[in-house]
Every structure is written in structure tokens, then in C-alpha cells.
Homo-oligomer: A and B are copies of this chain.
Amino acid sequence: MIIELKENARAHAATLAEQVKAFHITYLNKSYLITGSGLKEVPATLEAFTENHWVFANDIQLASRKFQDQKREVAIGKTVIGGQTNNTILIGGPCSVESEEQLRSAAELLVSMGLTTLRGGAYKPRTSPYSFQGMGLDGLQILAKMRQDYGLNVITEARDATHIDEIIEHTDIIQIGAKAMYDQGILRACAKIQKPVLIKRGFGTTLQEFVQAAEFVLSGGNPNVVLCERGIRTFETGTRFTLDLCGVAWLQEHCNLPIVLDPSHAMGYAYGVNSLARACVAMGIDGLLIEAHPNPKVAKSDASQQLNYDEFRKLHSDLQKVAQSVGYQIV
């Protein structure tokens, strides 16, 4: 249950929260208590302080359209998505940060196209100890340098809780990867800040659990959460994963968080990325993550799915037309 406190009750909100073991947040200048969804009636002790309340069938509460019907607005640096913006942000860059030279070329590509946000993995959540594990802090610092040199926003992934503070420090939007999205060490750290957080859906994660991961961040006081669908694991192995666009339609209907899609990881093959990305944009979504590499064949990770720069430019051009046909613009 979400309880909006009356104005004169805000001063002792923390005390009230403790009484009913609720979370307490301030959102858009109002004060809320949030309990589990099992609670269906306002506790007697709170009645006098309650301005408004919402009852829920399950633990999707702050992210629910029932609580707030319009889509949340989230700013990634100076670029705003969600809300009434009709912006679809196109985030590009390599799977892994491999060198300053590589990242500089990606940054220049983005700048030349008027794009604003650069991706690149520093801590790679590889499934084998014998693969390239990412450049770690060195990679983070290259990203930070690009931010400084080109005025780009940067996004990179937290692999586990041991380096979440570094990630928070060096990025404009924190990415919680598909394998880390149940990691409460990461989620709770992201709940304490105000920087935007992009949570990727685990490939074995239900939509319900996915949005509940966002509730960890929202109920902790950070309202700036973006959901990212990147493909689920199914019996089909002709493609790397299965991008769940039915799930995206479900999220659009039930949740108030902006939605970003990652067709590169879902498909696993560059040949399908353009076609899938067009499909995503036609749904009226808030962003895309696309992997691009100056020379995909020699990439240290995910070589088969990264676009080369010509393909990325073609993609940008194709997406602009599709976005326009549904009333959106690529930013």
C-alpha cells in the first residue's frame, strides 16, 4: 500500500514509517509511506495523517500506473526521456572498453550524429573465468575521459557490489546488468543516490520480478529508474536470446517507468539488429542500447553482434523514419 501523508504529517513521517514498518520517501514534493501489498486497509494509527492511499494486488506499487498513470520523466545528463517528451534515446558504443583509441572513435561517431550517450563495459560479467574480464577501473577512467572530452553522458555496467561505488562515481547512468539485477548490494546502493539507474531484465526473470527489482530502488528513495528488456532465454537457440516485445507491451500498460531496449544482446547477430531495432522504435519506446565497434571481427567480447560504424549510421537513419511515423524522435 502507498499512503500519501497530509502536509502537516510530513515532519514526523520517519516516525510514522517506523511504526508500521514502512518505507518512507519524498517524491515530487509529496511524502509517502510504502508497505507490502498485503496491507489492504490504512492502519488505524495512520488514518488521521492520510491524504490519499492506493491498494495493490501485488508488490508492483511505486512503478504501477495505478499509482501514477503518466510515464516518469528521467534525465540522463541533459537528455530527458519519458514523460511527454516522445524522445527515443539511441545509446551506442562497444560491448567492452578495450582501449582509449577505440572509445574515442565511438565517441566521435556519436558526436557526429548528434547523439549524446556512450556505452562501454568495464567490468564484464563473463560466464567463464578464462574469457576477457574487462579493463575494470582503467576502463571506467577511459569512459570518464570521453565524458570530459566530448561532453557525452556515459553508461557502464556494475557486475557485482564490490565496485558499485566506482561505477556510481564515474557514470551518468548506472547500468545493472541482467546477471546482477537481483543483487541487493547493487540495488540498495542505487537506492541511496539520485543518478538514473537502468535495470536490465534477467534472461530468466519474469516481468513481475523485473519491476520488483525497480521497487528496491524506488522505495529506497531514488525515483529515476529505467527498465531495459534485453531478451529472455527460451528453447530457441537459432538466436542468442528472444527479445520479449509482448513483455514490453505489458510494461507499457502496467508500469510508469521509461523503457529502453537492447536488441543487440537479444539477437546475438549483427544481421538482425537493424530489423529488430526498427520493431522496437515502432512501439514508441524511450531508448535503445546498440553495440557498435570500429572493427567487430576483432572485438574482445560479443564480436558477432556488434555493428560496424557504417551499419550504425544506416541504423540511425532508418530509425529516424520509423520514430517519426509513431510521433517520436531519436535523440
Listed in ascending order, the chain A residues whose CB lies under 8 Å from chain B are 23, 34-38, 59, 61, 125, 127-131, 159-162, 179-180, 182-186, 202-209, 212-213, 215-216, 219-220, 231-250, 252-253, 266-267, 269, 271-272, 275-276, 278-284, 318, 321-322, 324-326
Contacts and interface: CB of A to CB of B under 8 A. Distances in A.
Given A59-B131, A159-B184, 17 more contacts: A36-B128, A36-B131, A127-B182, A160-B160, A160-B183, A161-B162, A179-B183, A183-B183, A234-B235, A234-B244, A236-B247, A245-B245, A249-B271, A252-B272, A275-B283, A278-B282, A321-B325
B130 A37 contact: yes
A212 B128 contact: yes
Contacts of A280: 279
Nearest to A216: B129
Contact of A219 (B127, B129, B322): B129
A185 to B, nearest CB: 4
Contact of A238 (B160, B185, B250, B272): B250
A32 to B, nearest CB: 13
A325 B278 CA distance: 10
Given A131-B59, A322-B322, A245 B276 contact: yes
Contacts of A159: 184-185
Contacts of A179: 182-183
A249 B276 contact: yes
Given A242-B242, A246-B231, A279-B279, A207 B236 contact: yes
A249 B272 contact: yes
27 contacts: A34-B130, A35-B130, A36-B130, A125-B182, A125-B184, A129-B220, A130-B215, A161-B185, A180-B183, A183-B183, A185-B185, A202-B204, A206-B235, A231-B246, A238-B250, A239-B249, A239-B250, A242-B246, A243-B246, A245-B279, A246-B266, A249-B269, A250-B272, A276-B283, A278-B284, A278-B326, A322-B322
A55 to B, nearest CB: 13
B238 A208 contact: yes
A62 to B, nearest CB: 10
A204 B272 contact: no
The 7 residue pairs across chains A and B that have the minimum distance between CB atoms: A204-B204, A249-B272, A160-B185, A36-B130, A282-B282, A325-B325, A179-B182
Nearest to A278: B282
A34 B182 CA distance: 31
